[in-house]
Amino acid sequence: MFYIIVGCGRVGAELSYRLYRAGHQVAVIDHVGASFQHLPPDYRGRTIEGEVMTESVLEKAGIREADGFAAVTNSDAVNAVAGRIAKAFFGVPIVVTRNYDPKFRALHESFGLTVVSSTAWGAQRIEEALYNPGGRSVFSAGNGEVELLEFVIPALWHGRSLGQLVPHEGCVAASLSRGGRARLPTSDAQLETGDVLLVSADAQGLERMRLALERKGD
């Protein structure tokens, strides 16, 4: 696969390198040549210095052959417009843009782009960690609206039922593992110390589960 990355700051450099290490062809565009210093020394993909809004720069990067395009600069306007150009004018099948300021997320969405809001996502992860240090996020869907979290059942919940811990709204138990074997749990499943519980939850469901844990099984 061939991917074009716009912006070679820390996010763009990390993304480009990950794609390169995965065996893909990568071209990185940045208007500041010094930005390419963020790339690891063993990166062997292409680098193009120039303004991404310039057709000649996009053509030089090979946009007509690109399988995917990601705009990850610190400018929401640049990311949104570059993504729009790649999708609407060059027909790139997969276009992802980074939303830097949550206030401008609607701009990206108005262009029908796949948006990753790193600021909002990071803030939500930190909030969840503060609320519930015992839960570990293992998957995030969309921009973090729904999370898959892993919990290790503490001794205080030994012998209690799953239904007492997992709320009925905004939270669904995905699996319960014991002794290395996983199963689809029912609400009457009895919990044991050390069980590993995977839960899919939105923000409200996670908050309800946090409150249940705080009640310590009472």
Per-residue pLDDT tens over the stretch 11-49: 999 999 999 999 999 999 999 999 999 999 999 999 999
Q: What is the DSSP letter of 195?
A: -
Structural domains in the chain, CATH included, are 2-118 (3.40.50.720), 127-214 (3.30.70.1450)
How many angstroms from the chain centroid is the CA of residue 73?
Answer: 16
Q: What's the distance, Cα to Cα, between the start and end of the chain in Å?
A: 54
Backbone φ and ψ of 133, nearest 5°: -65, -15
Read off the pTM: 0.65
37 close to 103: Cβ distance less than 8 angstroms:
no
The residues, ordered by sequence, that sit 6+ positions from 77 with a Cβ below 8 Å of its Cβ are 104, 107
- pLDDT, residue 135, reads 64
Q: Which residues of the chain have pLDDT under 70?
A: 124-135, 143, 214-218
